[in-house]
Structure 1
Amino acid sequence: MGLLIKAEYRKIITTKMWWALLIPSVLLAIGWAWLGGYFFSQVASGLGEVFDDAGVNVDLDKMSWASLGLTRAMNFATLFPMVFGALAVASEINRRTITTSFLTASTRSAVLTAKAIVYVTWGLVYGVVVALGATIGTAIGSDSAVLPGAGDWIIILLTGVLACVLWTLFGMGVGALLGSPVAALLVLLLYAGLVGPISEFVITGASNYSNIAGLMPNGSANGLTGSTAAELLFQQAKDMVAASGQSQVITDDVVNGFNQLVRFAAGAPGAFAMWLSGLIFVAWTALFFVTGMVRNNSRDIT
């Protein structure tokens, strides 16, 4: 197994793909976090002025709005580890280089297990680098008053790193299942970039079925980081309203509306709590990964 793992690392390091995808993922994380931090800082400032003019004694402009930019940046950047994972098996099947690995190893399962171990570590690498990029962008673009506390910041980053690892394995499973890098990339990018977000928006708009979005792969993955940021802001708002002594005038509709608003802003409309979103996305990842691996245990490699 050790030799197979070493061989998989060499396959990756001796090509340009790993850094060709890593560089734009970092740049995207920095850019989106920077813009998101700036945008939500301006929103918070405007919100504070509106509340002051209305004589409302609630400092919602002092909440951790920058966490939304941090969350959004990490969610967007997960596209790259997903693509990286999608090419893990699919590109080898397409070039028939996996034939040699299957024929020289003790079993196909050993080859696929070695790939899984290696790509988990690469998912961690992508996650850590993306987290650092998002941190830099958020710190530069955000007003200090709206930055999350250190503990909340770390939790968001950790959930983002976990999302990168799971997206890597998710992409690997889809690539292994389809056996074509072009087909795998088209399916994954269309779903993650277009079909998933649009369907979440449409489903969440139907209030009776809003949580269905949180059961989808894209919705549950975004819920990992998005629910963390949304719950942070929601709790801060509740505490501030309670401290102001005005909680009795806040209706349930206002509470639910605010909760839905911050979840939508965090990119996690209809998502469940962080831990439940994580379990749902783990289940989706396991489904596609295991199915892809089983498919390749019996695939014709001639």
Structure 2
Amino acid sequence: MGAAIKSEFRKFFTTRLWWGMAIGIFVSAALFSGFFGWALTSDDITADQTGVEGSATQIVNSVYTGGLSVGYLLMLTVGIMQIGSEYRHKTITSTFLSTPKRVTAMFAKIVALLGIGAVYGLISLLGSVSVGAMVLSLRDIDPFPSTEVLRTLALSLLALGLWALIGLGVGILIPNQVAAILVGVGVAWIIEPLLGFGLSFVDALQGVVPYLPSQATNAMVNGVTQSGVEVKPLSWWAAALVLAAYAAALSAFGTWRTVRQDIS
């Protein structure tokens, strides 16, 4: 098992993809953190002025996790490519020859993706906290008003790892790597937010909205909310369980399918 896990890490970190993604996650986290730090702390923080409402801790949470939406899309892409590139370049055969037990090989990919998500999460936090804390300090706002902020930072690491597992499942369900990336990112970035927005106006279906993956991700970090919105987010622990359920279901189904299908 250990050798298989090391192999998965080596496959990823010996390519130029990892540092390109690292730069993208760092820069996006820093830029969004600076933007939200400036926007949410300008003038008096009221729902009438900013369109959002939340405590000082929630405002700080939103500043530090402003780039999370870009981060989890990149991690979704990483998860897809972790298996999609194997099918595209026909290396999946050698992977299963070197690790004949396919369950072991797939479990190694899952462990590696959680580790990769943690690494990118730390890079994201480095960018967001360094810039966000500076902006908050310039606005005379405590960068760490409560220990809940530390919990939010830890949960953002978990969220990125779980989105990588969701990407793994998508990459197995859609073997064509390019199609998997387009479909996965398109659903997560465009279709699902629009679906959630539409369902929020249907009384009978409003209860579904908090259980969508992006909504659960936002609830995990407990940031500010739109004022006047009737759909209440899940608590942070419930949201974490929901996102973990998506990741577990997709990765488990993908593993089951990979174990049973023929590989040429």
Which band: TM-score by shorter chain?
A: 0.7 to 0.9
Match of 2:104 among 94, 102, 110: 110
Q: What is the RMSD computed on CA atoms of the aligned residues?
A: 2.5
Residue aligned with 1:106, SS: coil
Is residue 276 of structure 1 aligned with residue 238 of structure 2?
A: yes
The within-5 A match list for 1:17-28 is 17-28=17-28
Q: 1:147 to 1:183 in 2, by over 3 A?
A: same
* 2:66 match: 72
- The higher-RCO structure (CA 8 Å, 6+ apart) is 2
Structure 2 counterpart of 1:291, which letter? F
CA contact (8 A) 1:169 1:285 kept: yes
Deviates more, 1:123-132 or 1:71-80: 71-80
Question: Aligned-pair distance for 1:164?
Answer: 0.5
> How far is the alpha carbon of 1:22 from its aligned partner?
1.4
Question: Are positions 1:211 and 2:207 aligned together?
Answer: yes
Structure 1: runs of 5 or more not aligned: 51-59, 231-258
Alignment partner of 1:119: what SS?
helix
Q: In structure 2, how many angstroms separate the alpha carbons of the residues matched to 1:272 and 1:134? A: 24
* 1:176 counterpart (169, 172, 177): 172
Please state if 1:131 is matched with 2:125.
Answer: yes
Measured in 1, the distance between the counterparts of 2:185 and 2:104 equals 29
AA at the equivalent of 1:274: W
1:223-249: CA deviations, max 9, x gaps? 211xx234xxxxxxxxxxxxxxxxxxx
Matched, 1:261 2:260: no
Mark the CA change 1:36 to 1:212 in structure 2 (over 3 Å): closer, same or farther.
same
Q: Looking at secondary structure, tell me which structure has more helix per residue.
A: 1
Tell me the distance in 2 between the aligned counterparts of 1:28 and 1:48: 26
Structure 2 equivalent of residue 55 of structure 1: none
Q: Give the corresponding residue for 1:295.
A: 257
Q: Which amino acid aligns with 1:261?
A: S
- Larger Cα Rg: Structure 1 or Structure 2? 1
> Is the CA contact 2:56–2:145 (under 8 Å) kept in the aligned structure 1?
no
Could you give the per-residue CA deviations for residues 72-112 of structure 1, whole angstroms, max 9, x where no partner exists?
A: 32233221122111111111012110101112323111211
TM-score scaled by length of structure 2: 0.88
Q: For residue 15 of structure 2, give the secondary structure of its aligned residue in structure 1.
A: coil
Q: Does the 8 Å CA contact 2:80/2:171 hold for their aligned counterparts?
A: yes
> Following the alignment from structure 2 to structure 1, what is the Cα–Cα distance between the partners of residues 37 and 16?
32
Structure 2 Cα separation of the partners of residues 174 and 94 of structure 1? 15
Q: How does 1:2-151 map to 2 (within 5 A)?
A: 2-42=2-42, 44-45=43-44, 47=46, 63-64=56-57, 65-142=59-136, 143-145=139-141, 147-151=143-147
Judged with a 3 Å threshold, the aligned counterparts in structure 2 of structure 1 residues 146 and 297 are, in CA distance, closer, same or farther, namely same
- The one-letter code of the counterpart of 1:290 is A
Q: Summarize the Cα distance change of 1:49–1:176 in structure 2 as closer, same or farther, 3 Å threshold.
A: closer
- The amino acid across from 2:227 in the alignment is L
Work out the percentage of aligned pairs sharing the same amino acid: 25
Q: 1:152 to 1:62 in 2, by over 3 A?
A: closer
CA–CA distance in structure 2, aligned partners of residues 136 and 205 of structure 1:
38
TM norm structure 1 = 0.78
Pair 1:45–1:260, CA change in 2 (3 A): closer
Q: Identify which range, 24-33 or 113-122, moves more after superposition.
A: 113-122
Contact 1:41 1:146 in 2 (8 A): no
Q: Which secondary structure does the structure 1 equivalent of 2:159 belong to? A: helix
